[in-house]
Structure 1
Amino acid sequence: MNTDSTPLPERVRPRTLNEVIGQQKLIGPNGALRRAVESGRLPSMILWGPPGVGKTTLALLLAEAVRRPFVALSAINSGVKEVREVLSRATPLMAPVVFIDEIHRFNKSQQDALLGAVERGQITLIGATTENPSFEVNSALLSRCQVYVLESLTRDELVAVVDRAIAADPFLQSKQITVQSYDALLRLSGGDGRKLLNLLELVASAHVSADPLVITDEGVTTVAQQNIARYDKSGEQHYDIISAFIKSLRGSDPNAALYWMARMLVAGEDPVFIARRMLILASEDIGNANPTAMIMASEAVQAIRAIGMPEGRIILGQVAVYLATSPKSNASYVAIDDAIALAEKTAHLPVPLHLRNAPTKLMKQIGYGQDYQYAHNYEGNFSQQNYLPDELKGHRLYEPGQNAREAEIRRSLAKWWGDWYGY
């Protein structure tokens, strides 16, 4: 039985930079943070990386390495009041290192409270975030900080974390642990070093026999009971995976699309969200190359709402494969964006008189609707006339894509508008 209530990640936390596993690009012999420590000048910084890669540990060790006071705040529990209390105790002669975990959770006013102190050198700020600081940290504060990207721990590094904990921690030593397989430990912790150590301790605590503990995948899975998937539906992992999914559909790879969709479904993503994103892609990336794609994707949204999960996965899978294997065209998407850009520049241009309605006698007298050619009165239901402001006559916005369906559209446009728009 473990009589120490301190969590294992804290008990085996590295005591020096040399003990840190991973992040050697930053703290190795030629790493930027190693050079900063050796110079004795530690800049304010943002440590950006996935959970459990050592952001808190690095902040503490960096402060110790330059012999500066260390103050830790959590953006979840702290606000402007706590920040100002810390600033009131800071002195230029011994500026503290102020570590703010999850700094992306600070709102603008809370982040602004740090600006002056950072600029004056009253504190050295180390903010930790799992979110892209470009989006989550205001630009004024970001411009005063160096951003260092922490990498996910490799398999070998995660194995080293386990091995060192087993060798260093008295409680784990008492279990006489042999690791038969690391796979379940690594899979269930999702690359998060903190979760990995907590899971290891959970497995060790569940072993009440006096016999040596042999860690197996089956034993770990039984103890853990459920996958500890590293997926935050409101965080960057959410956006990264949906991005990979959409890019796989756009790139016509049904295998990758199904994989990323499965990752989202396993993690508990809202299936309606997935269906809605496919509906957008059906128009943006397939468009008139296969108009049926829009119908399929729209029906998927309605079907998922009607039947829910788990049966909804079948519909999502079918539509994902259909979209991935459809011909692609972003011609309409490009055309509407170009049209909006042109409209913003030319909003002053009047509607030509022949295109205006003339509901009153006065309007008719001044030329509203005059010389308008009603298409259905002409052969083939078409009459060539200018539908744009006179200054934009012949300005082409839509360029049909290179696919069978839009090749047919191009032929029609060439027949109608070949000389006019240059099709």
Structure 2
Amino acid sequence: MNPSTREVSSIPLAERLRPQNLEQYIGHKNLIGEQGVLTQHIKNEFIPSFILWGPPGTGKTTLVRIVSQKMECPFYSLSAIYSGVKELKEVIARATKGTDFFATKRPILFIDEIHRFNKVQQDALLGAVEKGIITLVGATTENPSFEIVSALLSRCQVYILEPFSKKDLEHILERAITQDEILSSQKIILKEIQSLIHLSGGDARRMLNMLEVFVKQHNGKESIIITDDAIESQLQHNTPLYDKNGTQRYEIISAFIKSIRGSDPNATLYWLARMINGGEDPKFITRRMLILASEDIGLANPTAMVLANSTFQAVQTIGIPESRIILSQCAIYLATSPKSNTSYIAIDKAIDVAHKTAHLPVPLHLRNAPTKLMKGLNYGKNYKYSHNYEGHFELQEYLPDDIKNTVFYNPGDNSKEHIIKAYLKKNWGDKYDW
């Protein structure tokens, strides 16, 4: 191996294959396709401040560098992991001098992992962005709504990069074995690539790293044949793509809850399995199921909340992997249960009206009269004790006069609430509009 080849081989494959122009860039056509947003900005020779939001290995840094080259403008780069306010001020000062003295295009300041900047660090960027000293471009794997201060976020566009598709990853693999200086000199046959794609989790960098490790393990062989079995037997299985401290945790629990609400047990089990495989705390899952049992099932099946609460208690006693069965039973039960959100709607409506009518006094007949003075003021007068009447019910007013006849609870369209509705109609007649 000559020195130049040895030097190249020390550079990771993912870095060697990093696209140098838009023609080499794969995927994200919504941004860099013929009608893509960034393509149009480049044509107009104006790039606004923006945030690239996407999972690792989707080409955020590469895209920013290519755009800056196309714009032929000064480019500054910082990593939020290693930089602070001091480094920010130094770069902004250099950008200010460059703009003043050379009248060049507005410099781009790229901040990788921008979500790692705290509020003070992010605030330090505001003035430079507002005055047009820099075009801020940030890259983040976390939801900007939660991680970027509102004042800064309002001055930036947000562009989303989705994980690479299977077709994109196949293209990247083919490019690696045909165009890379090191790999193209070897006979590499991509017989089966499903495992490489699956284990990558849509992360091109991870996939190329796995390919490079596998090829190095077989250096010296006349041909290197990539198969699923060979990849899985020689490479460690990937850690499931699940970040318990990041945005994805809440995206997956949201998908799980919405699948239960939508009465799809299969999707429910899939998202539950994703959380179990990712090592999620079962108590986190059951707390959400307990809330859903009331919010989305409620009076259509009151037993759902009993089961959800029992599940919450059980998983604290029984750990994973056994509690996966209990979680599955509860999740399936909730997904296949009839749904009603009437309790949820009713209390929110009542809270809203109560907030607006907090000045209304309690009607006299509903007030307690433990003292002689209170009785003299007619507290409790004419109150009808329900148990003294047939059916334990007697018609009387329980709301303040200003809001009497207001309906907060409307029974839902399910068998159990049909019974509730009939009971209410029997007692209250036409007083309430049910």
1:237 and 1:180 map into 2 onto residues whose CA distance is 33
- Unaligned 5+ segments in structure 2 are none
Match of residue 203 from structure 2: 192
Equivalent position SS for 1:170: coil
2:313 and 2:81 map into 1 onto residues whose CA distance is 38
Give 1:396-411 correspondences, 5 Å limit.
396-411=407-422
Equivalent position SS for 2:86: helix
Alpha carbons 1:48, 1:132 under 8 Å: kept: yes
Match of residue 352 from structure 1: 363
Alpha carbons 1:59, 1:126 under 8 Å: kept: yes
1:234 and 1:37 map into 2 onto residues whose CA distance is 36
**TM-score scaled to structure 2, two decimals?**
0.93
- One-letter identity of the residue aligned with 2:146: F
How high is the sequence identity, in percent, across the aligned residues?
58
Alpha carbons 1:189, 1:228 under 8 Å: kept: no
Match of residue 298 from structure 1: 309
Equivalent position SS for 2:431: helix
Match of residue 104 from structure 1: 115
> Offset of 1:209 from its aligned partner?
4.1
1:264 matches 2:275:
yes
1:112 and 1:64 map into 2 onto residues whose CA distance is 27
Alpha carbons 1:48, 1:148 under 8 Å: kept: yes
Match of residue 169 from structure 1: 180
Match of residue 247 from structure 2: 236
2:26 and 2:214 map into 1 onto residues whose CA distance is 22
- One-letter identity of the residue aligned with 2:64: A
1:315 matches 2:326:
yes
1:65 matches 2:70:
yes
> Offset of 1:129 from its aligned partner?
1.9
2:168 and 2:220 map into 1 onto residues whose CA distance is 30
Match of residue 169 from structure 2: 158
Using the TM superposition, name which of 384-393 and 406-415 deviates more: 384-393
Moved over 3 A (4+): 1-5
Equivalent in 60, 65, 68 of residue 55 of structure 1: 60
Equivalent position SS for 1:421: coil
Give the aligned length: 423
Deviations 1:145-203 (A, max 9, x none): 22222233221111111111222223323442111111000100101111111111121
2:118 and 2:379 map into 1 onto residues whose CA distance is 54
> Offset of 1:106 from its aligned partner?
2.3
Deviations 1:197-256 (A, max 9, x none): 111112122224433111111111123222242222222322222122111111111111
- One-letter identity of the residue aligned with 1:298: N
- One-letter identity of the residue aligned with 1:283: S
Equivalent position SS for 2:78: strand
Match of residue 128 from structure 1: 139
Using the TM superposition, name which of 34-43 and 305-314 deviates more: 34-43
> Offset of 1:410 from its aligned partner?
0.6
- One-letter identity of the residue aligned with 2:38: L
**TM-score scaled to structure 1, two decimals?**
0.95
Using the TM superposition, name which of 344-353 and 35-44 deviates more: 35-44
Change (3 A) 1:77 1:366: farther
Match of residue 26 from structure 1: 31
- Unaligned 5+ segments in structure 1 are none
1:285 matches 2:296:
yes
Match of residue 130 from structure 2: 119
Match of residue 5 from structure 1: 10
Match of residue 345 from structure 2: 334
Give 1:220-235 correspondences, 5 Å limit.
220-235=231-246
| RMSD of aligned Cα (Å) | 1.8
1:212 matches 2:217:
no
> Offset of 1:299 from its aligned partner?
0.5
Match of residue 404 from structure 2: 393
- One-letter identity of the residue aligned with 2:36: G
> Offset of 1:99 from its aligned partner?
0.9
Give 1:176-187 correspondences, 5 Å limit.
176-187=187-198
